[in-house]
Chain A
Amino acid sequence: AAGVIQSPRHLIKEKRETATLKCYPIPRHDTVYWYQQGPGQDPQFLISFYEKMQSDKGSIPDRFSAQQFSDYHSELNMSSLELGDSALYFCASRWGTGDSPLHFGNGTRLTVT
């Protein structure tokens, strides 16, 4: 079965640079979530989209922005990167707005040096 695809798997950036993470949800899934997981931490919700509209916002810094495109893929843009942004970034998708489980991608490991 198709899964959530995230790219790239690994990304190394320097401080103050910009990074773009991509997420391709499972086909027919219309809801996308972004989570950030720091070392030894539980995943923290950043932002979500439903039908290409931003629906919910968590602890996402103003330096970050995201959007969902017409084909339902989503991109997380991160500017003015800081060392503390180093983390595993997960994208998850599901169909609809009910209680169906989230299906997670393999994550993008971002390292800021």
Chain B
Amino acid sequence: AQTVTQSQPEMSVQEAETVTLSCTYDTSESNYYLFWYKQPPSRQMILVIRQEAYKQQNATENRFSVNFQKAAKSFSLKISDSQLGDTAMYFCAFPDRGSTLGRLYFGRGTQLTVWP
């Protein structure tokens, strides 16, 4: 079974600074996807970025980028130029390929607070 671990329950960063959220996972698969979702105070679940394991290049979406280390099974999210609107709970998510439709396993989340 796959597991997803986020070891930082809470983090804070000053506006305009850079912050990195960590995520490790465990799988026996060789080809898979990984996702980061954010959940702001509105509680909506929003896709931030996804990484395909067979791609060596780290995914980037504007100020969000990942550091994907396949051998180490690490998938960290870097947020550059942090903005107040980035304040949210961030979940690392991994599809369960053992299930029929690849349901997502979520980590326990990291609460990020961006302060002025």
Contact = CB atoms under 8 A, between A and B. Distances in A.
A84 B95 CA distance: 27
Contact of A88 (B35, B43, B91): B43
Choose among B35, B102, B107 the residue with the greatest number of A CB atoms under 10 Å from its CB.
B102
Contact of A48 (B44, B50, B101): B101
A43 B91 CA distance: 9
Contacts of B37: 104
B108 interface: yes
Q: How large is the interface on A (under 10, 10 to 19, 20 to 34, 35 or more residues)?
A: 20 to 34
B50 A42 contact: no
Contacts of A41: 108
A99 B95 contact: yes
Contacts of B43: 88, 106-107, 109
Interface string A50-76: 100001101000000000000000000
B103 interface: yes
Contact of B101 (A42, A43, A55, A106): A55
A21 B100 CA distance: 24
A18 to B, nearest CB: 24
Interface of A: 31, 33, 41-43, 45, 48, 50, 55-56, 58, 88, 90, 92, 97-99, 101-104, 106-107, 109
27 contacts: A33-B101, A42-B107, A42-B108, A43-B91, A43-B106, A45-B104, A48-B99, A50-B101, A55-B101, A56-B99, A56-B101, A56-B103, A92-B45, A97-B100, A97-B101, A97-B102, A99-B52, A101-B35, A101-B47, A102-B47, A102-B104, A104-B37, A104-B45, A104-B46, A106-B44, A107-B45, A109-B43
